[in-house]
Amino acid sequence: MSDTLADNKTPPGPSDGLAVLESRRSAAETYGIPLAVLLEITHRCPLQCPYCSNPVELDRGSTELTTGEWKKVLSELAELGVLQIHFSGGEPTARKDIVELVQHASDVGLYSNLITSAVLLTKDKLAALADAGLSHVQISFQGNEPAVADRVAGLKDAHRKKLEVAKWTRELEMPLTVNAVMHRQNLHQLPDIIQMAVDLDADRLEVANVQYYGWALKNRAALMPTIAQIEETSRIVEEAQARLKGTLAIDYVVPDYYALRPKKCMGGWGRQFFNISPAGKVLPCHAAESITGLEFESVRSNHSIAWIWQNSEAFNRYRGTGWMPEPCKSCEFREVDYGGCRCQAFALTGDAGNTDPACALSPRHEEIFKQAERESAASQNRFLYRNFAGGTLETEESRDNRQDNRNGA
């Protein structure tokens, strides 16, 4: 028998929710409600990172949920038993009501994390967020010095601002995670980035290799690391993890195209996490909207979030193992990685129901590995910057200025 929830489609009444999950002997009992949920409260952002995890079709400000709607979402999540929420974006502090939303999250008992580029924060605003009960701050860094970092972010003075905000975060005694997105054009800075995280007194460093969907897929040729870089990265991370044990926790995942087994993306589709988009769509992952042919329910619909999680077609399509083709279907790892990433399978094969080509058992694996090798060796270094206009190609002049700066010209 399939362990999807597809058979359980009776819409409950308006007061459904946790009670429904608890009272029915449904497959949803197996999954429960995720303990943590990512809220992309806006796609607006002053940065233009070429690997942004937002969809290429960004939600405009006019479509965003209102303050009242987000508060209702937060209350509903708390009622369901969600413990932690991540305020993300775009840049979440681009919303004027961010302090009010954090305060509401605290009022309903949610632990809140701010995932931020930091560039819009003042010390007073950060202090107001701390007073409102913000529990944790995660700042993204694009490098360890301005010449590389500001170029990748597409914003002058961004790096200096991030360092400043990281310092304030620790002064306000909030825990800090440094998120460093790594790729061919900044991997040479990894040892200095690790030291930067130590100097900033961060609790955790995420060495996050770029995941190639959406904007990053468009920029893959400019971002793909070489195998030599990845081997060196693994060595550097392992050495630092041992050396900094007890001082800095370091998370690291090998990039998909060079892995032999795929990552258990999102902990398995519809198993552990969900996202809510700026316009209120409830999504199994941040890139799910890139899969054409899936319809996503909205918090603006008549359904509760629990009903959407439990019953919606989009969540059930790839839940569990019943949907799997070979080689996953009879693979001993099918309940370990759940077939890898649906969005990557769609992006690379045109069918989200295929085995993720990051898996060495996929018939497409060899092909993507060779493509990665080819692209990493080519000299296509110009970025397509993320924006609401569908992207802007970096000028040769700005790229060359950056290279001059690095060379000390």
Interacting residues with ligand SF4 (CB under 6 A): 261-262, 327-328, 331, 333-334, 337, 339-340, 355-356, 359, 361
On whether the CB atoms of residues 20 and 11 are closer than 8 A, the answer is no
Q: What is the dihedral of CA 41, 140, 251, 185, to 10 degrees?
A: 130
The residue range among 10-18, 77-85, 144-152, 335-343 that interacts with ligand FES, by the rule CB under 6 A, is 335-343
Q: By the 8 A CB rule, do 348 and 38 touch?
A: no
Is 265 assigned to a binding site? no
The closest alpha carbon to 97, from 60, 69, 135, belongs to 69
The interface partner of residue 268, options being ligand FES, ligand SF4, none and the CB cut-off 5 to 8 Å by kind, is none
What type of residue is 139?
Answer: I
Q: Does 52 bind ligand FES (CB under 6 A)?
A: no
What is the C-alpha radius of gyration for the chain, rounded to an integer number of angstroms?
21
CB neighbour class for 275 (10 Å; exposed up to 12, middle 13-18, buried from 19): buried
- Choose between 187 and 343: whose C-beta lies nearer to ligand FES: 343
Q: What are the residues whose beta carbons fall under 8 Å from the beta carbon of 4, sequence distance 6 or more?
A: 27, 316, 317, 319, 320, 322, 323
CB-count exposure of residue 300 (10 Å: 0-12, 13-18, 19+): exposed
Out of 152, 288, 305, 324, name the contact with ligand FES by CB under 6 A.
288
CB-CB neighbours of 195 under 10 Å: 14
Least gap, CB of 348 to ligand SF4 (angstroms): 13
361 binds, among ligand FES, ligand SF4, none (CB under 5 to 8 A by kind): ligand SF4
| Count of residues in contact with ligand FES, rule CB under 6 A | 10
Q: Judged by CB under 6 A, which of 184, 342, 365, 386 binds ligand FES?
A: 342
Contacts from 124-128 at CB under 8 Å and sequence distance 24+?
125/93, 125/99, 126/165, 126/168, 126/169, 126/172, 127/168, 127/172, 128/99
Which residue, 284, 262, 271, 391, is CA-closest to 339?
Answer: 262
Task: Report phi then psi at 309, rounded to 5.
Answer: -60, -40
Beta strands 392-393 and 384-385, pairing class: antiparallel
Which span sits near ligand FES by CB under 6 A: 43-51, 88-96, 160-168, 283-291?
A: 283-291
265 binds, among ligand FES, ligand SF4, none (CB under 5 to 8 A by kind): ligand FES
Residue partners of 370: CB distance under 8 A and separation at least 6: none
Of residues 168 and 269, the one with the C-beta less far from ligand FES: 269
Q: Does 287 bind ligand FES (CB under 6 A)?
A: yes
Q: Which is nearer to ligand FES, 112 or 349 (CB)?
A: 349
- Cα(231)–Cα(115) distance, rounded to whole angstroms? 29
Smallest gap from Cβ 268 to ligand SF4, in A, equals 11
CA–CA separation, 133 vs 50, rounded Å? 32
Q: Which is nearer to ligand FES, 163 or 343 (CB)?
A: 343
Question: Rounded to an integer, what is the distance from CA 217 to the centroid of its chain?
Answer: 14
- Whether residue 359 is annotated as binding a ligand: the answer is no
Site string for ligand FES, 230-269 (x = CB under 6 A): -----------------------------------xx--x
Q: Which is nearer to ligand SF4, 44 or 263 (CB)?
A: 263
Partner whose binding site includes residue 359, from ligand SF4, ligand FES, none (CB under 5 to 8 Å by kind): ligand SF4
331 binds, among ligand FES, ligand SF4, none (CB under 5 to 8 A by kind): ligand SF4
| Nearest CB to ligand SF4, comparing residues 61 and 327 | 327
45 assigned binding-site residue: yes
**Could you say which of 134, 248, 343, 347 contacts ligand FES (CB under 6 A)?**
343
Of the candidate spans 224-232, 238-246, 336-344, 393-401, the one that interacts with ligand FES by CB under 6 A turns out to be 336-344
Q: Name the residue among 241, 153, 155 with its Cα closest to residue 197.
A: 241
Q: Which residues bind ligand FES (CB under 6 A)?
A: 213, 265-266, 269, 285, 287-288, 341-343
Positions at the binding site for [4Fe-4S] cluster: 45, 49, 52
Q: Which residues define the annotated binding site?
A: 45, 49, 52
